Amino acid sequence: MSAVARSLKSSLGDSRLLLPLAVLGLIFLFDLIFIPGFFDTEIRQGHLYGSLIDILRNSAPIILLAIGMTVVIATGGVDLSVGAVMAISASVAAILIDPRKVGLTLSGDITAVVGDPTYSFMPLPVVIVAAMLAALACGVWNGALVAYVRIQPMVATLILMIAGRGIAQLATNSIKINIFNDAFSFLGNGFVLMLPLSIFLVLGIFIGSWLLLRRTALGLFVESVGISSRASLFAGINEQRVKLFAYVFCALCAGIAGLVAVSSIKTSDANVIGLYTELDAILAVVIGGTVLGAGGRFSLLGSVLGALVIQATMTSMYHLGVPASAITVVKAIVVVLVIVLYSEQARDVIRRAVGRTGTRKQGASA
Amino acid sequence: MSDQAPLLSMRGISKAFPGVQALTDVDFDLYAGEIRAIVGENGAGKSTLIKVLTGVERPDSGEMTFAGERYQVHSPQHAQRLGISTVYQEVNLCPNLTVAENVLIGRAPMRWGITIDWNRMNRQAREIMAGLDLDIDVTRPLGSYSVAVQQMVAIARALDISSAKVLILDEPTSSLTLRETQQLFEVMHKLRAEGIAIVFITHFLDQVYEVSDRVTILRNGEVVGTYDPSSLPRLELVSLMLGRSLADLDDMAKHKMETLDRISEEAFLQARGLGMSGSVQPFDLDLHKGEVVGLAGLLGSGRTEVARLLFGLDRPDSGTLDVAGSAVDDFSPAASIKRGIALAPEDRAAEGIVADLSVRDNIILAVQANRGWLRHISAREAEEIADRFIKLLHIATPSADQAVKNLSGGNQQKVILARWLATDPQLLILDEPTRGIDVGTKADIQKLVLDLAEEGKSCVFISSELDEVLRTSHRIVVLRDRAKATEITGDVDEKELMTSIAGTNA
Amino acid sequence: MTQTLGARLSNSRRFLPLGATIAMFFVVYAFGVMAFPAMRDSQPFFNLLNTAPFLLIAVVGQALVIISGGIDLSVGGVIALTTVVTAALLRAEWDPAVVIVLMLLMGITIGGVMGFFITYLKVQPFIATLAGMWFARGMCYVISDAEIRIYDPTWKTLAGVKVLIPGLADPVAKTGSYITSLVVIALVVLVVGLFLAHLTRFGRTLYAMGGDSGRNEQSARLMGLPVDRTKMQVYMFNGLCSALAGLVYSIYVGSGHGSHAMGMELLVIAAVVIGGVALTGGEGYVLGAFFGVLILSLIQSLILYNGQLSSWWTSIFIGMLMLLFIGVQSVLATINARSLARSTAGGMKRPRTAPWRDRRFLAGAGAVIAAIIGITLVGPLTSSPQTTTDGDSAILTGDCAPAESRAAEAEEMQAAGAAIVYQRFGGSDCVDQLYGLYPDGRVTGVDGTQTVEAQVEPSAVADLVTNLEGLGWFTDEMYTTWHHPCAECYTYEITVTSGDQTKTVGAVDGGTDAPAKYWLVKTRISALLPETNGAP
């Protein structure tokens, strides 16, 4: 028994997932003690409801962003424009569903379709594809600037961060566009098997991404380029194409996140969608164990856990009655704690503590 | 020239790093007013010696005295304050600041103690530079000047900070023209006349003869001796530097003679007038199947540059390259790998291993890159490949999952070799594959090279250790001063080889 | 001083980015003058400064931080926090002088804490200042959810003081070109920044530390420079600048709220980059950042003058300009590297530059410049429809349209001496409101079919009018924006009369490019209106 425990402990101790899991555990412990009824889950109208479900559902956009951001950070870069890409994809979708909102006049008898829940100017598949194409264009733009023109990632994506939101606002004439289409809002609000649809969507994207990265050589290439782009060059890896892929992948994830976000709130406000979400995404990835700035080995699961940590923190604060905007203070404290915990000194302390208890146990059982 | 007592003295200095003994029981004396050259091949311990001297590293054992007193130094700044200044090959200054600032920053003259007095600073800097016989515009950014000038500025700063008594120049002439080198030498003479002791690390033997008063030779972490260049023939200098290693020569030589017959007439690779300005002068080279060609020459002679051209890392300015009969026009590592050429680079750490990836991932990396991103190597197949090579090359690692950065240098080198062998190359180029590696592994690698030849593959073997080159190569190409000097075939004497390498004024 | 200035000017290559920024500013300004006669006066130039004193202050600190190789994302947050704490303290009747000193100390402390994490705990500046931003913004709402208005006389005075420009103004008649006192403060900060950067050891150490993406820092340490101490100091100085900018902002806007200065950190960074300061550090001038702000201000003004471009084009232009200037910086770096390689003999590896990059950059730069000029001058590329036919508007506004009599009623209120006439209609619940606020405190109006009468303190109305005036109601900053009314949007028409000035400004609340202060105005007016079913 002790041998098994020892090996388990050592593998957990080495595993980079330990910290985000531990942090998540701490938050839930806190909830258990201080927030009565936090873990209550009930079934209403055939759907599961409860704080845990809320956490899972509300974290959908940020998990999606974090998945994309992980790959970019793994190549040693960063993408600050994901929020703007969300806004762009949301705006494209909103316009294509109901272009009258931006002033395009249409022929035919339109009176009948105002507020019609099945109305969509373009078929929904076209809407989604168009939104993703817009996101793809953004990814190619970022990737080209970083990989071929060799501009620093932070600077290159800052450009789209600033200009992209302007583009989105321009396209929608910066009007808040309400979207009535039921099929579309099912994306963000619907339930399948008692759980919110968005959870399944995120799960699907996560699995798909994992397959894309780990069942092809892409993940290996990304890590290799991040750790040593020179050695990767010597080994025959096309470093530029790998980086381009990373930014395209990240933008596509942001595009999906934008669609989910806009469908869940039924309104597309280019001013506000995705605002500051890039920072949440980066934080989620950092909590998950992928190193910002250096890149290298990454963990999609770690980033998902990181996103859950952030969302769980926010939801817990809601339940405690902390005013919405003051939650950012808590976020700041969490960031600081995480960073300090992740620093080299803290890791050494943890490792020594884990090692010490290990030997003590061994002594006792012997 | 030499005073009675040495200015700087090292006794019994030893220093070990994980896996390698960098210095062993080194005794070293430096006198005021002399220019001492330190020479030795890679891994001889030159840089470690300097690091110990300047406080970057602490010696494991031994003592040092400076200016008559016990010398214990904790940091480069401390050494500088005490009067020992170093100017490195990569000039450690700030190219975005002006020359004057670089010379005086941190000690700039102030007006009323608050604001920097630019006028005075510029004037002072001009005077200091004039002291080195350099008349330049000190208000221009340092980065707008050539490396030669930057080095001068670094020297000026180093000397000005504290009345320096010892000036260490680490490979200062690598990036200088002939004229700039002469200027540097004049400055060195001038400083010597002022009583400063100058340590001059270089691999250019001509310069050793030209400027140094005495030369200390290091080999494998030990001091071979200190000599007066005027009474040391060049050939002897080279032979002392390169020396002999302990391995058994006979078996290898026999093996090599057997494979000599198997060399095909067919040339796998043909280079005609291949060259790149600033890198290596145009050369011709034929590589036959089943042949091992050694590239010999001193550090800086252009061996790595040749390798880079053959592997497609650099694009040649002139000449043609034919591989397996067809001309090459796309120069890139990926294209070369497809053609069956592999290169194990000289700089293992920066260009070889992908540090944080596992041994397994490192081994299959090139194969995977060659197959493309879609055709993933399954976990099972990867394990198979990795295990095969771990066994074949006796790679010492607790498991294939171990991060390759945790392996010793020798094992890291084996991992890199495994990576290339896994691609089943037709031509394997090895650039200093045995540097910093234990003797047993060295023998393993040399045997591996000959085995490859037996299978009909070609190999280019680059090494500073002549005995290795002799043992494994069917033919030796000698490079000197970035150009191909001669080709030596057949059974050759070490002395002959060294003569070639040393050059005409032996 | 002149001697060194001349010598330094001769190092033309270093000044290229700065020169490019300044040249660009004057070129675009020249275009503006040609296209818009209103710009030929001197006041519009000074207004570039008057509308952005807080930006001018913030960029000085940020420029120094970026030159040292770091970055500070917390600027907007600290500004907002400063406004909130200031407003709260002033409301609690603290002495303004004490408040000012306290706020500056607060800024230094926040900067110091972040600097500590960056310097000694080795946290990346991006993350540390991000946490600082969240912390500051969050604290704003912890202190107060709602906006706190500032009534302090010192603040009001400072807000209103105009410094006449000698030579362009008539001091006797008190008219002519002016800058505000806030701009004077900003200029003082600029001078301090210039002094620090060029004449102190602190500043030179900053330049030494930055550059080469962090490698210079190693060299600086080896050269014996006090890198750690300087890092702490620059973040503390930036905190001071942010706090000072916050104070200025609170004077400018007259209130404190957590939503102030949203996204300002991006504007500040953009201004610094456009000003020629390399984000990699070690290059650039504080003066450049100053001109960067001028350019941003200029773009905003040009778009306003054009009147037909949605103001979100500003963001797009800023993005394009940043790309342009980053391109300039990287090309210059390339040129420098290549000339260096040429001047050294063999032995150096060829620098990793590509000649095609120059051509691509030039093509790109040409395209960007052409686009900017074309868009600004040639005409609208997006339609912002002014009116529609009745049929369409009925559909688009659903059944919601104001009763026909409203226009006439509004006129009547005007004639009867209403200080403020407030009209709102539309929305998903089809609101139709018209109110008049009179100087004697009467509030009369209609809400749908309901007639409403109420009474408030006369002084409240007078204060409100003064406040609105202070917000710039009668200046060029308040202008009508119009969008296609949408089924869920409210449309507003507000008329304010003060003395002999009357001005009407309209907006649609879905159209979020209306002047930011418009919503402030609307909030304050509706605070005085009675609550009815269609609560204002």
Chain C's closest residue to A340, CA to CA, is C121
Task: Please tell me whether residue C299 adopts helix, strand or coil conformation.
Answer: helix
Interface check for A147 against chain C (CB to CB < 8 A): the answer is: no
Same domain, A141 and A224: yes
Task: Tell me the DSSP string of C389-450.
Answer: -HHHHHHHTTT----TTHHHHHHHHHHTT-SEEEEEEETTTTEEEEEEE-TTSEEEEEETTE
- Give ipTM to 2 decimals: 0.78
Segments of chain A scoring below 50 in pLDDT: 1-14, 105-114, 357-366
Strand partners, B274: B283
Does the beta-carbon distance from A100 to C382 stay under 8 Å? no
- Closest-CA residue of A relative to B379 is A215
Window A:70-99, CB contacts with C under 8 Å: 78
Q: Do C204 and B141 touch (CB under 8 A)?
A: no
Would you say residue A110 lies in a domain?
Answer: no
Expressed as residue numbers, the domain containing A198 is: 59-105+117-321
d(CA B277, CA B274): 10
How many contacts (CB atoms, under 8 Å) link A and B?
A: 75
The chains found to touch C (3+ Cβ pairs under 8 angstroms) are: A, B
Q: How confident is the model at residue C228 (pLDDT cuts 50, 70, 90)?
A: very high
Is A108 an interface residue toward C (CB < 8 Å)? no
Share of chain A residues as helix, strand and coil, in percent rounded to the nearest 5: 70, 5, 25
Sign of dihedral through CA atoms B23, B29, B33, B37?
negative
Task: Indicate the pairing of strand B427-431 with strand B341-344.
Answer: parallel
- The pLDDT assigned to B206 comes to 81
Residues of C in contact with A78 (CB under 8 A): 126
pLDDT of C384 reads 32
The Cα diameter of chain C in Å comes to: 91
In a domain, A313, yes or no: yes
In a 3-state reduction of DSSP, which class is residue B140?
coil
Phi, psi (rounded to 5 degrees) for A128: -65, -45
Average of per-residue pLDDT values in chain C? 77
Q: Which residues of A touch C138 (CB under 8 A)?
A: 325-332
A97 and A177 assigned to the same domain: yes
Q: Are A351 and A260 contained in the same domain?
A: no
Is there a single domain that holds both residue A227 and residue A357?
no
Q: How many domains does chain A have?
A: 2
Q: Does the CA dihedral C244-C249-C252-C254 come out positive or negative?
A: negative
Average pLDDT of the residues in C202-220? 82
With CB atoms and an 8 Å threshold, state whether B92 touches C225: no
CA dist., res. A334 & res. A23, Å (int): 10
pLDDT tens figures, C436-484: 888 888 888 888 777 888 888 888 888 888 888 888 888 777 777 765 5
C121, C137, C487: residue with CB nearest A340: C121
Pair (A359, A274) in one structural domain: no
Interface of B with C (CB under 8 A): 76-77, 80, 92-98, 101, 105-106, 108, 110, 114-116, 118-119, 122, 137, 139-141, 143-148, 157, 161, 174-178, 180, 277-279, 300, 314, 482
Q: Is the pLDDT of residue C185 over 90?
A: yes
Instruction: Report the residue from A218, A223, A227 with minimal CB separation from B373.
Output: A218
B491 three-class SS: coil
The pLDDT of residue B301: 82
**How distant, in Å, are the alpha carbons of B141, C291, C329 from that of C284?**
13, 12, 10
Chain B neighbors (3+ CB pairs < 8 Å): A, C
Residue A299 lies in a domain: yes
- C222 and B140 within 8 Å at the Cβ level: the answer is no
Q: Torsion angle, CA of A289/A295/A300/A301, rounded to 10 degrees?
A: -10
Segment of A221-225, B239-243, C170-174 carrying the highest mean pLDDT: A221-225
One domain for residues A266 and A340: no
- The answer to whether residues A88 and A232 belong to one domain is yes
Q: Which residue has the higher pLDDT, B257 or C523?
A: C523
pLDDT value at position A73?
A: 94
Beta-carbon separation of B482 and C210 below 8 A: no
Euclidean distance between CA atoms A30 and A35, whole angstroms: 8
In chain B, the domains with their CATH numbers are 8-242 (3.40.50.300), 245-340+427-506 (3.40.50.300), 350-424 (no CATH)
- Which of C147, C353, C512 should be substituted to probe chain A, the one whose Cβ sees the most A Cβ atoms within 10 Å? C512
Interface A-C: count of C-beta contacts within 8 A: 169
Does residue A238 sit in the same domain as residue A286?
A: yes
Interface test with B, best of C3, C222, C336 (most B CBs within 10 A): C222
Query: Residue A269: inside a domain, yes or no?
Result: yes
By the 8 A CB rule, do B266 and B458 touch? no
Residue A22 lies in a domain: no
Find the CB nearest C223 among B105, B144, B147.
Answer: B105
Q: So what's the pLDDT on residue C106?
A: 96
Residues A349, A281 share a domain = no
> How many Cβ atoms are within 10 Å of B325's Cβ, its own excluded?
9
Whether pLDDT at C373 is above 90:
no
Whether A355 and A275 share a structural domain = no
Taking residue B173's Cβ as centre, other Cβ atoms within 10 Å add up to 25
pLDDT tens digits along C267-280: 898 899 888 888 77
B65-96 pLDDT per residue, tens: 888 888 888 877 788 878 888 888 777 888 88
Domain boundary among A321, A337, A356: A321
Domain extent listing, chain C: 43-302, 390-528
Chain A residues with beta carbon closer than 8 angstroms to that of C299: none
Position A5 in a domain: no
The residues in A 14-73 lying below 8 A from C, measured between CB atoms, are none
CATH 3.30.1560 given to domain C390-528: yes
Banded pLDDT at C101 (limits 50, 70, 90)? very high
pTM of the prediction? Answer: 0.74
The 10 Å Cβ neighbour count of residue C480 is 14
pLDDT digits (tens, 9 = 90+) for A260-300: 887 766 555 555 566 678 878 988 898 888 877 777 889 89
Please tell me whether residues A284 and A335 are part of one structural domain. no
Q: Which residue of chain A has the CA closest to B368? A: A217
